[in-house]
Amino acid sequence: MIDSTPPAIQIIEVSKHYRRGDETVQVLDRFTLTVEPEAFVALMAPSGSGKSTLLNLMGGLDRPDAGRIVIAGTDLATLNEATLTRWRARTLGFIFQLYYLIPVLSAARNVELPLLLLPLSREERHRRVEAALTLAGLPPERHRFRPTELSGGQQQRVAIARAIVTDPPLLLCDEPTGDLDRTAGDEILALLKTLNERLRKTIVMVTHDPHAATFATRRIDLDKGLVGELRPAS
């Protein structure tokens, strides 16, 4: 029997450059990558090598100069701004180094934000928020706490809950442990690993930390200057 499930991510001959003053910086040059569904990929590279750019392209936040990006069978080039926004809402969950939580809203309210776009009752939203926060490992008594009342690790758990609350198949993580100490960082990485293994989320994690990459099932090193070279995960 032939498996007809398309790859989770197909990056085909993608190029991207930026202008920095008079200088042109080529961050991606005919880059090609395929990520299978339910994979946990660590994109490793030093700062400025284009890994965040790659993540933004995968999330449809930026457009490539050349090449194609196909996510779960959808060619992003075919989507206009409005369709892309709706597609992003149901397909992707973003996790950032700086959490980006709204400081005056409780953890639960922060997690509820993506659900406000869906036709759900208040009770259903509440149920999903509690489930996501519990899954992310935030103690129930802290669900009503504001981000400033939580530790860095707990704030990142809230951000992860926010990313998974709509149950998207793909999580894009940009240095998710970059602002955490080793213990808290390991807990977050273990959580991501759990989400990958138990909930079968496809995860692409950008990191410059080799230790973080050990939690992934596949590691891809991007050399500075860029041409993608695939190496087996360590």
Partner 1 sequence: MKSPLRFSPLVLSALRRHRLRTWLTILSVLIAFLLFGLLQAIDHAFYGGVKAAGRRILVTMSAESMVEPLPRAYAAEITTMKDVHHVAYEVWMGGYYQHHNQLLYALAVSPRRWLAEEGRALILPHREISAWLKDRSGALVGNSVARTYGWKPGEIVPMRSDIWIHPDGRNTWPVRIDGIFHSTKKALSEGFLVHYRYWNTGMGNPNQVSLLRVKVTHLRDLGKVARAIDARFANSPHPTRTASAQTFVKHFINQTVDIGVIVEDILAAVFFTMLLVTANTLTRSVRERSGEIAVLHTQGYSRPLIFALILAEALILVLTGALAGTGLAVLIVQGLRSTLEAYLPYLTLTPRTILLTLGLSLLFAVLSSLLPLLQVQRLRTVDALRRG
Burial class (CB in 10 A: 0-12, 13-18, 19+), 86: exposed
CB 190 within 8 A of CB 139: no
CB 123 within 8 A of CB 202: no
Rounded to 5°, angle at Cα 205 from 70 and 113 = 80
Counting contacts by CB under 8 A, is residue 105 touching partner 1? yes
Q: Which is nearer to partner 1, 66 or 98 (CB)?
A: 98
Which one among 25, 66, 117, 190 touches partner 1, defined by CB under 8 A?
A: 117
Which one among 47, 121, 148, 183 touches partner 1, defined by CB under 8 A?
A: 121
Q: Choose the stretch contacting partner 1; rule: CB under 8 A; options: 4-12, 56-64, 181-189, 210-218.
A: 56-64
Q: Choose the stretch contacting partner 1; rule: CB under 8 A; options: 29-37, 110-118, 210-218, 223-231.
A: 110-118
Which one among 11, 28, 31, 56 touches partner 1, defined by CB under 8 A?
A: 56
> Phi then psi for 4, rounded to 5 degrees?
-95, 5
Counting contacts by CB under 8 A, is residue 19 touching partner 1? no
The helix (H) or strand (E) run that includes residue 195 is: helix 182-198
Counting contacts by CB under 8 A, is residue 72 touching partner 1? no
Counting contacts by CB under 8 A, is residue 103 touching partner 1? yes
Q: Choose the stretch contacting partner 1; rule: CB under 8 A; options: 111-119, 132-140, 197-205, 209-217.
A: 111-119
CA distance 226 to 45: 10
Q: How would you classify the pairing of strands 228-230 and 74-75? A: unpaired
Q: What's the closest the beta carbon of residue 181 comes to partner 1, in angstroms? A: 19
Counting contacts by CB under 8 A, is residue 122 touching partner 1? yes
Which one among 26, 34, 78, 85 touches partner 1, defined by CB under 8 A?
A: 85
CA distance 116 to 201: 22
Q: Which is nearer to partner 1, 78 or 83 (CB)?
A: 83
Counting contacts by CB under 8 A, is residue 58 touching partner 1? no
CA distance 129 to 143: 9
Q: What's the closest the beta carbon of residue 107 comes to partner 1, in angstroms? A: 13
CB 54 within 8 A of CB 231: no
Q: Which residues contact 147 (CB under 8 A, 6 or more apart)?
A: 99, 101, 102, 103, 107, 110, 155, 158
Given the rule CB under 8 A, which residues bind partner 1? 52, 56, 59, 61-62, 81-82, 85-86, 88-90, 92, 94, 96, 98, 100, 102-105, 109, 113-114, 116-117, 119-122, 162, 174
